[in-house]
Amino acid sequence: MQVPFLKMHGLGNDFVVLDARAEPRALAAETIRWVGDRHRGVGFDQLITLEPAQDADVFFRFHNSDGSEAGACGNGTRCAASLILNETGRSSIAIRTIAGLLGAERLPDGTVRVDMGPPRLGWADVPLAREMDTLHVPMAADGVSDAACCSMGNPHANFFVEELSALDVFRIGPELEHHPLLPERANIGFVQVLARDHIRLVVWERGAGYTLACGSGACAALVNARRRGLVEARCTVTLPGGDLVIEQRADGHVLMSGPVATSFKGELTLG
Ligand SMILES: N[C@@H](CCC[C@H](N)C(=O)O)C(=O)O
């Protein structure tokens, strides 16, 4: 069976997009891992499946390259939303995801903004293994300690550091992703506050590993930095792949804007 796909990215956070609106395309975890293999398949951080929705323009389903499913994917939402914005010719759309209903719009400069909704801050929302203050979670690894956690529809743990380049992210990232306090694992964000409107961030993604950018991770970093009193409501978040602009509105909703790009299209041979 030949299945057409698009390869897209937001700041190098890369995606294979499958359109399953007319025909179901449920891939087994083993197939997802093969397509995600950067040597033997196409390679991606996340696979995004577009599905029909009853109460929105489209449903987006996200899978990590290890085959696990994720409730949210900020950059993937921006990329796939740009397809629906182009297709419909509309200036804004509504997207249903496992984590909730999201809004997306194209901005005059061509970038795409997604309303990721409000963060969830309770220990059971993240989730953490037991009741505790999500702003000070006793997790530590070489060079980092005292995590701030939240959910942006998916779990995030942030560590604030003086200097990001001093960290061995490839060693401590997987260690923290699998920490016993995180029953569903988490995306691990290492945050350096450069100014009250500027953050540097490196993310070790749950189920995908080191990434050039993580949209929901950038939202979580701003939310947790604000909770610690370190930044204002609007920040530029500089990731290895480039900049996102993140803003938390007075009603708590977190807005994320940045560029999207299509790399190529192709066909998967399945079965
Ligand atoms: N790249 C994403 C996050 C993808 C999901 C994550 N790895 C998870 O398992 O929660 C983004 O841009 O938000």
pLDDT tens-digit map of 249-263? 999 999 999 999 999
150 catalytic per annotation: no
Contacts of 266 (CB under 8 A, 6+ apart): 4, 5, 7, 42
CA distance 143 to 172: 9
Closest by Cα among 150, 131, 84 to 112: 84
Mutation test residue for ligand 1: of 32, 60, 116, 206, the one with most atoms within 8 Å of CB: 206
Q: Is the pLDDT of residue 175 over 80?
A: yes
- Does this model's pTM top 0.90? My answer is yes
Mean pLDDT computed over 129-151? 98
Task: Tell me: is residue 13 an annotated ligand-binding position.
Answer: yes
pLDDT tens-digit map of 129-138? 999 999 999 9
Q: Is 105 helix (H, G, I), strand (E, B) or coil?
A: strand
Mean pLDDT of the chain: 98
Is the C-beta atom of 246 inside 6 A of ligand 1? Answer: no
Closest by Cα among 200, 125, 195 to 158: 200
Q: What is the ipTM of this complex?
A: 0.98
219 catalytic per annotation: no
205 CA to middle of ligand 1, Å?
6
**Predicted pLDDT at 171:** 98
Q: Over the Cα atoms of the chain, what is R_g? A: 18
Phi, psi values for residue 246, rounded to 5°: -120, 135
Mean pLDDT computed over 184-210? 98
**Predicted pLDDT at 173:** 98
Q: Is the pLDDT of residue 270 over 90?
A: no
Is the C-beta atom of 74 inside 6 A of ligand 1? Answer: yes
**Predicted pLDDT at 35:** 97
Q: Is the pLDDT of residue 200 over 90?
A: yes
Domains of the chain, start order:
2-116+258-269 (3.10.310.10), 137-252 (3.10.310.10)
Is the C-beta atom of 67 inside 6 A of ligand 1? Answer: no
**Predicted pLDDT at 271:** 76
Is the C-beta atom of 241 inside 6 A of ligand 1? Answer: no
189 CA to middle of ligand 1, Å?
11
In sequence order, what are the beta bridge partners of 4? 267
**Predicted pLDDT at 261:** 98
